[in-house]
Amino acid sequence: MRTPIVKVMTGHRRVGKSYILFQLIELIKREEKDANIIYINKEDVEFEEIISYRELHNYISERLAGNRKNYIFIDEIQEIDDFRTTIRSLALDDNNDIYVTGSNSEMFSGDLANELGGRYVEFRIYSLSYLEFLSFHNLPNDDDSLEKYIHFGGLPYLIHLPLNEAVVMEYIRSVYSTIVLRDVVERKKIRNTAFLEQLIRFLANNTGSLFSSNSISDFLKNQKIKISPTQVSEYADSLAEAFVVHRIGRYDIAGKKLFERGEKYFFENMGIRNAITGYKSQDRAKRLENLVCNHLLFCGYDVKVGTLSPGEIDFVCTRGGETLYVQVAIELSLPETIIREFDNLLKIKDNYPKIVVSGERSFENTYEGIEHVYIRDFLSSTLTPKLL
């Protein structure tokens, strides 16, 4: 705050970006009684005439103070054509402290960072973590609360609703429809909306499976849906850019390189995934892997799927100079399951921490020095180098 660096908050709609802006505004008002605050919300009809960078520049310029710092807040800025031009111009004046939010990552990718010459930092706003969910809803940290979190996800507005299936899922479906319509269909000018819906449902039903655009295209052809791999890739990209899904690439652990093809998709919000595909008991393993992926991202890790020859490590995670290897299992009750999940990790000969996260507590804490962590304990941690 109070530096000539543009603060950009990104994340899908209804994760709380606007509320964070309001909190910052209130903080500034408390600390500076006469603070010059300029606020624009493109979801508010009051600002509907601001549609291009020129109207944006004119509106803000008329309200700038020359003798003190200007605090500029623009919510859902991607709704304004060529907004980068105005942001670049405003950022030239060190008197301007700029905060913006957006629901589409493409709008804030390389171009803006390059134009601002490094005077730009992005903060990713996720749905509530498990501990935040407990705090919001004043719930104890027990398995019943965990089940609610897995079922309904972490949209902040759920604090205003009773946590029952009918009410919550109706709200979540409305949020999902808004995201898909405004941040995918309208922004990308997608005509084949029927295929987009098919693709989203496909990804929800196959969460955590390894795919490429070609394999998805081939699968859909078997379902009598003809779509090219290029179009599959474009549509999948649009879902990732709107923060509907996380696209997790593959990393060759032995060769220490990224693969160009093949990735896994996980949903940013568990409630949205469940609203699409239903809360089915046979999907427990998929939900568990999605939960683990989301928490790793929330804790600031860069996450990849690890490949060994043969075998796979569910997640290879890096943060700063740290590396963490994570395997995910529903349960560890059978000897062959224990061997499979732990032996893949034992093949990695470096000294970075390695853990197996499971959906049950019954197994012992360690196996040949590799720690087992129950999912609720995992979600209750910040994954420091000492883990738990």
- Per-residue tens of pLDDT for the chain, all 388 residues: 998 899 999 999 999 999 999 999 999 999 999 999 999 999 999 999 999 999 999 999 999 998 899 999 999 999 999 998 999 999 999 999 999 999 988 776 656 667 776 788 889 999 999 999 999 999 999 999 999 999 999 999 999 999 999 999 999 999 999 999 999 999 889 988 989 999 999 999 999 998 888 888 888 778 777 888 888 999 999 999 999 999 999 988 877 777 767 899 999 999 999 999 999 999 999 999 999 999 999 999 999 999 887 788 999 999 988 999 999 999 988 888 888 889 989 999 889 999 999 998 877 778 888 999 999 999 998 765 444 3
Question: Does residue 297 form part of some domain?
Answer: yes
Q: Both 173 and 314 in a single domain?
A: yes
Specify whether the CB–CB gap between 290 and 319 falls below 8 A. no
Q: Which amino acid is at 375?
A: I
Question: Does residue 142 form part of some domain?
Answer: yes
Contacts of 88 (CB under 8 A, 6+ apart): 115, 116
Q: Both 314 and 245 in a single domain?
A: yes
pTM over 0.75: yes
Specify whether the CB–CB gap between 305 and 299 falls below 8 A. no
Q: Both 218 and 362 in a single domain?
A: yes
Q: Both 249 and 218 in a single domain?
A: yes
Question: Does residue 386 form part of some domain?
Answer: no
Q: Both 49 and 168 in a single domain?
A: no
Q: Which residue, of 84, 108, 124, is where some domain finishes? A: 124
- CATH code, domain with 99: 3.40.50.300
Domain that holds residue 364: 130-379
d(CA 104, CA 111): 14
* pLDDT of amino acid 385: 43
Question: Does residue 363 form part of some domain?
Answer: yes
Q: Both 97 and 188 in a single domain?
A: no
Specify whether the CB–CB gap between 9 and 105 falls below 8 A. no
Q: Which residue, of 124, 157, 192, is where some domain finishes? A: 124
d(CA 377, CA 380): 5
Question: Does residue 388 form part of some domain?
Answer: no
Q: Both 276 and 300 in a single domain?
A: yes
Q: Both 97 and 142 in a single domain?
A: no
Q: Which residue, of 77, 94, 124, is where some domain finishes? A: 124
3-state secondary structure 231-259: HHHHHHHHHHHCCCEEEEEEEECCCCEEE
Q: Both 149 and 227 in a single domain?
A: yes
d(CA 340, CA 279): 27
Q: Both 42 and 158 in a single domain?
A: no
Q: Both 134 and 95 in a single domain?
A: no
Question: Does residue 239 form part of some domain?
Answer: yes
Q: Which amino acid is at 352?
A: Y
Paired strand residues for 245: 267
Question: Does residue 237 form part of some domain?
Answer: yes
Token duo for residue 224: 């009598």
Question: Does residue 1 form part of some domain?
Answer: no
Q: Both 135 and 267 in a single domain?
A: yes
Q: How many domains does the chain have?
A: 2
